[in-house]
Amino acid sequence: TGVVLVEQPFFIFHNNLGDQLPNELIGCIPALVVCVLFAVTLTISRMLREEVHPSIMLMGHLLAQFVISSMLCPVFDLWKLPESPQKVLRLTGGAFTFALGFYFIFLSLSQEKLKIVSGLLTSEILFTRIAELLFTGLTWDWYAMLGSILITVGCIGISLMERDDDIEHSGNTATDTERGKLISP
């Protein structure tokens, strides 16, 4: 229900978005690829939790992003920064929040099960909607906001229920050794 309210498909809401369908698919295909790549990233990060500190994981990911960007920029002739200081500040702020966000993802994966972390990460849809409203001037859409809230509450609820089930069956989710690694690299 939440996804339908957020996306408002033209065949249900009878809006004019049906004319934009090919353009939307072009944007959706890379987003789906990102979902698969992100799932692989989370899985590998969880597997490495006992051997690699979250700070080292972040450094490795940022280095890989730098190498990939360095190869793509010449291909697409993108070696120019935004001209406005405000846009440079946004670019820099976005980069820092991205890095900090990934650090916290790696930190949570070092302590919690993958299914719980990935479930909680789906609450991003609500926070993205709020950020769009605050920073981009997006118009308020009650259906989309309600859908975002339903998705977030549902995913957090499922994650918490799974966590409670895991705790009941195994005692706890992180050993004392794993918790100690978080404090000292």
DSSP-assigned letters across all residues of 16-63: GGGGGHHHHHHHHHHHHHHHHHHHHHHHHHHHTTTTS-HHHHHHHHHH
- Listed in sequence order, the DSSP H helices in 51-175 are 54-76, 85-111, 114-121, 124-135, 142-170
- Distance of alpha carbon 154 from alpha carbon 119, whole angstroms: 9
What average pLDDT does range 12-16 have in this prediction? Answer: 54
- Distance of alpha carbon 7 from alpha carbon 116, whole angstroms: 25
Q: Is the pTM of this model over 0.95?
A: no
For residue 32, give Cα distances in angstroms to 18, 117, 159. 20, 19, 22
What average pLDDT does range 62-77 have in this prediction? Answer: 88
Q: Between helices 21-47 and 114-121, what is the axis angle to 10°?
A: 150
Dihedral of CA atoms 41, 5, 94, 33 in degrees, nearest 10, equals: 30
What's the chain's Rg over C-alpha atoms? 20
Please report the pLDDT score of residue 55 as a whole number.
Answer: 93
**Percent of the chain scoring above 90 in pLDDT:** 28
- Distance of alpha carbon 144 from alpha carbon 4, whole angstroms: 9
Give the tens place of pLDDT for each residue, 70-121: 888 888 887 777 888 998 898 899 999 999 999 999 999 999 888 888 888 8
Q: Is the pLDDT of residue 137 over 50?
A: yes
Of the candidate ranges 99-103, 130-134, 140-144, the one whose mean pLDDT is the lowest: 140-144
Give the tens place of pLDDT for each residue, 19-48: 555 666 676 778 788 889 999 999 999 999
- Distance of alpha carbon 104 from alpha carbon 123, whole angstroms: 15
Select the more confidently predicted residue: 171 or 25. Answer: 25
pLDDT category of residue 179 using cuts at 50, 70 and 90 = very low
Cβ within 8 Å of residue 58, ≥6 positions away: 99, 102, 103, 106
Please report the pLDDT score of residue 184 as a whole number.
Answer: 46
Cβ within 8 Å of residue 29, ≥6 positions away: none
For residue 63, give Cα distances in angstroms to 38, 53, 67, 134. 17, 16, 6, 31
